[in-house]
Structures are given as C-alpha cells and as structure tokens.
Amino acid sequence: LKSNPSNNEEKEAQTQLTKSDELQRLHSQALSAYQQEDYEAAISLLDEILAVCVWDAELRELRAECYIKEGEPSKAISDLKAAAKLKNDNTEAFYKISRIYYQLGDHELSLSEVRECLKLDQDHKQCFSLYKQVKKLNKQIESAEEFIREGRYEDAISKYETVMKTEPEVPIYSTRAKERICHCLSKNQQATEAIKLCTEVLQLEPTNVNALKDRAEAYLLEDMYEE
C-alpha cells in the first residue's frame, strides 16, 4: 500500500487482509475442535485453510492426525506424504506413514518408508525400533512364501506360526498367517485341519476369496461335495 496507494491496490490489499484474518480465525477454530476431539469439524476447517495455504506442512500433519483418529488411514498417508516433501528432514512424517502401513498389514511399504526416515537420521530411536520389527517380520513372511513356492508346506506352516509370535498385537498379520497356513494344510492333504482353520479366517473375513478356495479344496479331499 505504501509503495503504490492506488484504489485498485488498496482494494486488493484490504481483501487479502480480510482473508488472512479469516484464515487465522479458522485456524484457531480448527485447533480448538482438535483439542475437543471433534475431528470431523477440525478436518472440514482445515480443508478450507489448506485450499488457500496449500504448502503448509504443519496443517497437513494436523489434518493427518484427525484422519487417523477418524479411521481414514489412506487420507492420512496422502497428507503425510505431502508434509514429508514440504518440510526438510521430516523424519516424523516418514515414521507415521510407516506405522500406518504396518497397522494396515502392508509390511513392504512400511519397510520402505521407515528406511527413508533412517536415511535422514540413522539414530532416530522410534524409526530404528520400528525398522527392526518390520524387517524381521518381512523376512519371515518372504521365507514362508518361498517355502510355499517350493512345496515345503510343513516348513511354511512353521514359519507362519513364527510370524504370529513375532507380531501378536496387529490382528491382520495373524489373519494372513492363518489364511496361508490353511492353504498349506489343504495342499498337504490335511483336510480336517484346513477346514477348521479356513473357517476361522472366514469368520473374521467372510469374503476372503483365498480362504474360500482353500476350504473348497479341503472339502473335495473329504468328498464333501455339497459343502
């Protein structure tokens, strides 16, 4: 305004000032909603601010937190990935992305994200601890799948039992392990055990196609054609 006090400039400046006041007000409301655990309201306020302040990493991280609380992990990942690009050395964003992938059962993507965190800071305690866990689990699953490809079903079963011991806290890994053990039992002509285990998996995931196919194979072995 001081450099160019024409009418047009003044209008533009006043508009921008009004807009920035409005954004600050929305920001306060968003923080307040977040603190009151009204994550849905916080998200809609942050949507408005981020439509203007596209490059704000901290706001994206805050919205990601809200998405996590609202049970929308894929949206949280998208915000955190943007935050990791927008802010240098953002180890925290990589750590969170890795944790979300891990909770979703995607151990391979989790491993690649936690490695990005350690590239930025090899002494990052949380990332290093997560890295050790994911790497161990990843190795066991790869090894079990290799046994299945070689037709070594007993070895694969034992390896998947180890997977369940390695990660007892995140249910998806136990379910996946049971699904693969059922597959091995079915291939190994252990029909009764296969039917029992596949049924267990199907109680948790009624539309699990692999478990349905493996249980069908096991029923065939037992001449239970109706089933």
Residue type, 198: C
**Burial category of 123 from C-beta neighbours within 10 Å (exposed 0-12, middle 13-18, buried 19 and up):** exposed
**Burial category of 115 from C-beta neighbours within 10 Å (exposed 0-12, middle 13-18, buried 19 and up):** middle
Pairwise CA distance, residues 110 & 106, whole Å: 6
| pLDDT (0 to 100) of residue 61 | 96
Per-residue pLDDT at 126 exceeds 90:
yes
Per-residue pLDDT at 5 exceeds 80:
no
| pLDDT (0 to 100) of residue 12 | 84
Pairwise CA distance, residues 188 & 127, whole Å: 40
Domains and CATH numbers, the chain: 151-226 (1.25.40.10)
| pLDDT (0 to 100) of residue 89 | 92
The predicted model gives 189-212 an average pLDDT of: 96
- Mean residue pLDDT across the chain: 95
Q: Which residues have a Cβ under 8 Å from the Cβ of 156 and sit 6 or more positions away?
A: 144, 145, 147, 148, 180, 181, 184
Quick one: pLDDT band at residue 16, thresholds 50, 70, 90?
Answer: confident
**Percentage, residues of the chain above pLDDT 90:** 91
